[in-house]
Amino acid sequence: MTSAEHNGLLPLGVVDVAGPSMVPTLHDGDLVLVHYGGRIRPGAVVLCRHPLRQDLLIVKRAAGRRGRGWWLLSDNEFVESDSREYGPVPDELVLGRVLLRLKPRLRWLRPR
């Protein structure tokens, strides 16, 4: 994932998706709009810092709360680099909610 820094005026930013973990919802090369600090609820697609490599941004689906963090899962059932591997992700590492896919075709992302 790469992220264009938001300017502080609006809590929005654009992120480039890399990798297969969110297929079929998102694909490698998709651009998504993120609402930084947006309300997270179960089923939402979120942007967060990887809990073991905080320099790495990841996009996952918030499955629910576990203790003091979010249980985050990949939509791709064959990719296990998610909370099944590293456990709940602390709230402070969850940066925002992915609102919509901008590229290749505009599409709102709704919670499952």
Mean pLDDT of 3-23: 80
pLDDT at 10 over 90: no
- DSSP state, residue 10: S
Task: Tell me which architecture the domain covering 2-101 has in CATH.
Answer: Ribbon (2.10)
More confident residue, 46 or 110: 46
Nearest to 94 by CA among 76, 64, 30: 64
* pLDDT per residue as tens digits for the range 51-104: 999 999 999 999 999 988 999 999 999 998 999 999 999 999 999 999 999 988
Q: What is the reported pTM?
A: 0.85
91 to each of 9, 15, 30, 77, how far by Cα in Å?
A: 23, 20, 25, 24
How high is the pLDDT of residue 9? 58
Domain ranges for the chain, please list them: 2-101
